[in-house]
């Protein structure tokens, strides 16, 4: 599994908010991703959850005593600060935000924050009115100006009975933000358009023609591209996946013609286009407005199909120095068919995969691909997670961008 948290020492600071019980899930997810998690609790946090819970999940002692010494007589808050790669404070209450913003260090957690030089992420959770308070917002702004990072609370029902912004963000979103902090922003000035998922071509109001694409590959590419600093637009067919990130613009479509319209509207402003969607080659010539009834004695039904627009081919005919990447899902003669697609559609890179293999491709969290460029060079990538594949694809995209821009500079 690809993760930026592997072998990292992470400090999880827990303060006295009702959402403290949710942090057990955060600690579990971080340890599953290979991080060594060290939990620090305030006195108020222990009113909600016991230290034993977090010690059991993390496998490390939980620290809460201001004057606790570590092995060899090392001062606790200094020793932890020295080994940390990143610190996350969750839930971050108005109280702890205010104390740190104003230089108050009266317990182990706040003292350690003052002693650390690694990134510190605050994950606020509190009553809506507290969150909206000018005092709290002023403290947050002061901390941001000093390099501390913040997540926005989620909205919904709060423990106090209110509704609004103040809930702890989803654990998956917190982990994503932590991985984002560790990721080099090497695509910072790029605008990347990614397509994902299947298209649906309707036969009647009930039935449709579609395919097995889950959208996982395209969503992984969109997420990793955003992590690496790119502005990302994701145009997606109908999938069961949640949006990859809140800061990715998602455009939902159903049919191939809808996807074409969305792509053509967005493509002119993009430096990279990655077409990972499984777009239907054909649609029904005549879509009936009423459900087709099953009739006695009719053993066969014929459908007349017409060709859908070839979005990738159309993009390949357009002028411009952007990078265009296509996918080729094949069942035989993988390299030959994929290279032919690259040449016909004027691509900079084609990602080919054998969809007849089990355990990869459609619906799977893993993939095995071959990257082919216009010279015919083919790089085989063995079975990896789709996030790892996404990293490799974007590494190749970065090389193509550099090459194209170097040629352009030489021309001038």
Closest CA to 202 of 275, 276, 292, 106: 292
Q: Assess whether 31 and 138 both reside in one domain.
A: yes
Q: Assess whether 161 and 238 both reside in one domain.
A: no
Is 61 a member of any domain? Answer: yes
Q: Assess whether 132 and 207 both reside in one domain.
A: no
Is 306 a member of any domain? Answer: yes
Location of structure tokens 């627009």: 309
Q: Which of 154, 182, 210 is the last residue of a domain?
A: 182
Is 308 a member of any domain? Answer: yes
Is 2 a member of any domain? Answer: no
112/160 Cα distance (integer angstroms): 30
pLDDT truncated to tens, each residue of the chain (412 aa)? 668 999 999 999 999 999 999 999 999 999 999 999 999 999 999 999 999 999 999 999 999 877 665 555 444 556 788 889 999 999 999 999 999 999 999 999 999 999 899 999 999 999 999 999 999 999 999 999 999 999 999 988 777 777 878 899 999 999 999 999 999 999 999 999 999 999 999 998 888 999 989 999 999 999 999 999 999 999 999 999 999 999 999 999 999 999 999 999 999 999 999 999 999 999 998 877 778 787 766 678 788 999 999 999 999 999 888 999 999 998 899 999 999 999 999 999 999 999 888 888 788 999 999 999 999 999 999 999 999 999 999 999 999 999 988 866 555 5
Q: Assess whether 263 and 171 both reside in one domain.
A: no
Q: Assess whether 395 and 318 both reside in one domain.
A: yes
Q: Are the C-beta atoms of 267 and 300 separated by less than 8 Å?
A: no
- CATH of residue 161's domain is 3.40.50.1950
Res 73: pLDDT: 47
Q: Assess whether 84 and 142 both reside in one domain.
A: yes
Is 195 a member of any domain? Answer: yes
Q: Assess whether 277 and 390 both reside in one domain.
A: yes
Q: Which of 182, 215, 239 is the last residue of a domain?
A: 182
Q: What is the dihedral of CA 284, 286, 289, 295, to 10 degrees?
A: -80
**86-92 and 36-41 strand pairing:** unpaired
Q: Are the C-beta atoms of 221 and 194 separated by less than 8 Å?
A: yes
221/36 Cα distance (integer angstroms): 27
Q: Assess whether 172 and 197 both reside in one domain.
A: no
Res 66: pLDDT: 72
Q: Assess whether 165 and 239 both reside in one domain.
A: no
Closest CA to 351 of 322, 329, 376: 329
CB-based contacts of 206, cutoff 8 Å, min separation 6: 291
Is 377 a member of any domain? Answer: yes
Question: What number of CA atoms fall less than 13 Å from residue 409's CA on the CB side?
Answer: 6
Location of structure tokens 């909206």: 132
The neighbouring-strand residues paired with 273 are: 193, 324
Is 253 a member of any domain? Answer: yes
Distances (CA, A) of 334 to 11, 277, 279, 296: 47, 18, 19, 44
- CATH of residue 354's domain is 3.40.50.10300
Residues recognised as catalytic? 160
Q: Assess whether 326 and 375 both reside in one domain.
A: yes
Q: Which of 182, 213, 242 is the last residue of a domain?
A: 182
- How many folded domains does the chain comprise? 2
Question: What number of CA atoms fall less than 13 Å from residue 79's CA on the CB side?
Answer: 14
Is 324 a member of any domain? Answer: yes
Domain hosting residue 328, numbered range: 191-288+299-411
């Amino acid at each position: 599994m690809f993760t930026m948290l592997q072998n990292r020492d992470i400090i999880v600071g827990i303060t006295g908010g009702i959402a403290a019980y949710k942090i057990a899930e955060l600690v579990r997810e971080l340890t599953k991703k290979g991080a060594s998690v060290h939990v620090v609790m305030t006195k108020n946090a222990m009113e909600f959850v016991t230290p034993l819970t977090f010690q059991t999940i993390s496998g490390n002692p939980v620290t809460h005593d201001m004057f606790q010494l570590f092995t060899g007589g090392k001062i606790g808050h200094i020793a932890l600060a020295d080994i940390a790669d990143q610190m996350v404070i969750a839930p971050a209450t108005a109280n702890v935000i205010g104390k740190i913003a104003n230089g108050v260090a009266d317990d182990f957690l706040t003292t350690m924050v003052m002693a650390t030089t690694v990134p510190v992420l605050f994950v606020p959770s509190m009553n809506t009115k507290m969150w909206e308070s000018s005092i709290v917002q002023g403290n947050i702004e002061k901390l941001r100006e000093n390099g501390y990072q913040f997540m926005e609370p989620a909205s919904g029902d709060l423990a106090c009975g209110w509704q609004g912004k103040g809930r702890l963000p989803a654990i998956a979103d917190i982990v994503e933000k932590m991985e984002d902090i560790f990721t080099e922003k090497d695509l910072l000035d790029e605008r990347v358009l990614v397509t994902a998922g299947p298209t649906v071509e309707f036969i009647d109001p009930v039935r449709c023609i579609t395919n097995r694409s889950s959208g996982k590959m395209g969503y992984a590419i969109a997420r990793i591209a955003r992590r690496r600093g790119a502005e990302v637009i994701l145009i997606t067919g109908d999938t069961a996946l949640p949006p990859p990130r809140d800061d990715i613009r998602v455009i939902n479509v159903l049919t191939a013609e809808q996807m074409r319209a969305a792509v053509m509207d967005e493509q002119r402003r993009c430096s990279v286009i990655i077409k990972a969607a499984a777009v239907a080659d054909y649609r029904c010539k005549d879509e009936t407005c009423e459900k087709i009834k099953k009739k006695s004695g009719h053993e066969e039904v014929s459908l007349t199909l017409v060709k859908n627009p070839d979005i990738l081919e159309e993009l390949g005919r357009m002028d411009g120095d952007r990078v265009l990447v296509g996918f080729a899902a094949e069942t035989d003669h993988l390299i030959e068919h994929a290279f032919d697609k690259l040449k016909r559609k004027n691509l900079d890179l084609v990602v080919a995969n054998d969809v007849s293999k089990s355990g990869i491709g459609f619906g799977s969290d893993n993939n095995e691909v071959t990257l082919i460029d216009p010279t015919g060079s083919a790089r085989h990538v063995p079975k990896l997670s789709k996030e790892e594949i996404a990293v490799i694809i974007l590494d190749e995209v970065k090389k193509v961008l550099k090459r194209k821009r170097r040629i352009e500079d030489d021309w001038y």
